[in-house]
Amino acid sequence: MDWEKVTVHIDTTIREAINLLDKSALQIVLVIDEEGKLLGTITDGDIRRGLLSGVNLDSPVKQIYYVSPLTASIDDLPEELHQLMKTKYIKQMPVLDHDGKVVRLELLSRILKEPKIKSPVLLMAGGLGSRLSPLTDNCPKPLLKVGGKPLLETILENFIKDGFEEFYISINYKGEMIEEHFGDGSAWGVSINYLRETSRLGTAGCLSLLPERPEVPFLVMNGDLLTKVNFKKLLEFHNNNHTLNHAPATMCVREYNLQIPYGVVIKEGNRLKGLDEKPVQRFFVNAGIYVFEPEVLDLIPSNEMFDMTHLFDKLFANKQNPVIFQIREYWMDIGQRKDFETAEGEYNKIFLF
């Protein structure tokens, strides 16, 4: 794609701009100044409106070009830019440097040709959310709004951004509200099916409700997490470890620091050997995001209470070797009211494009 071949200056005639549109497949002409800065854009619609208003073909394009096109910055993350274009169905997006000069042209037609990821995603959204009462008295926790958007919607869109398109959502408490909000997923251009828990199945039992066994590794995530982890890279990490080490499962972990608020005594018998003033202990905690090989489903009993801890205990007992993937990106478990308030305060600077 050579976007420079569809650039014109403001004195270029409309006739020449039409010829450029006809010759290229980009469906857009970029109007730039002598320094390469973007002044505006021209599409078929701009030309039609100009001709209808009485402008002739030999008039300069400065009479018809659109002066306020939607643009992106070179600092914008490509995956977020692509998701915006897909969501808003923006066919072309000029990308500008810090001086306003065009550096490339993103095309929706190219983005839509990117291969999708076949691995399905299971989002667990059946919990009561009792620790967030009264916020959850009339609303399931995954639908609580953070940054003006339901938690589960942010999670879904982050997976879509990384190329996933097949989803299952496990529901129980006020599950009909979740079904009503997301429907079959067509509003997001994806497929969503529901696993309806009629009793409490724990954090892993709902996997037994999958209508068919996946043919490829699948991802599982709690429906009350906010994170910027790259799910595509997570899946690649899992696949590499499965190939090299036959790892059937990957657990995402997060570093958790706990500071002792006192001076810790170092002793030998009754002799004082030293003091460690308010030391920090570092742990890795389960981040509530997993990747599993399909055969792991054989370890899960049907329609019984069964937690992730039980599943990993079975893997250890079978001498199967799960691995960990450390999350270094933003991660927040919305478990308590203070977590919800923290996430609300951080959302705009972390998630908004």
Dihedral of alpha carbons 223, 323, 116, 95, sign? positive
**CA distances, 54 to each of 8, 20, 63, 83, 105 (Å):** 22, 21, 11, 38, 31
What's 257-305 look like in SS3? EEECCCEEEEEECCEEEEEEECCEEEEEEEEEEEEECHHHHHHCCCCCC
Amino acid identity, residue 226?
L
Nearest to 29 by CA among 5, 7, 50: 7
b/e per residue, 104-131, with b = 16+ CB within 10 A? ebbbbeebeeeeebebbbbbbbbbebee
Q: How far apart are alpha carbons 170 and 305 in whole angstroms?
A: 14
Q: Where are the beta strands (DSSP E) in 172-222?
A: 191-196, 218-222
Nearest to 69 by CA among 35, 99, 96: 96
- 8 Å CB contact between 153 and 251: no
Point out the catalytic residue in the list 23, 278, 338, 349.
278
- 8 Å CB contact between 136 and 129: yes
Parallel, antiparallel or unpaired: strands 323-326 and 249-259? parallel
Amino acid identity, residue 123?
L
Q: How far apart are alpha carbons 121 and 165 in whole angstroms?
A: 8
Give me 232's structure tokens. 């595509």
Task: Measure the CA angle with vertex 151, ends 113 and 309; round to 5°.
Answer: 95
- 8 Å CB contact between 330 and 126: no
174 is catalytic: no
* Active site members: 278
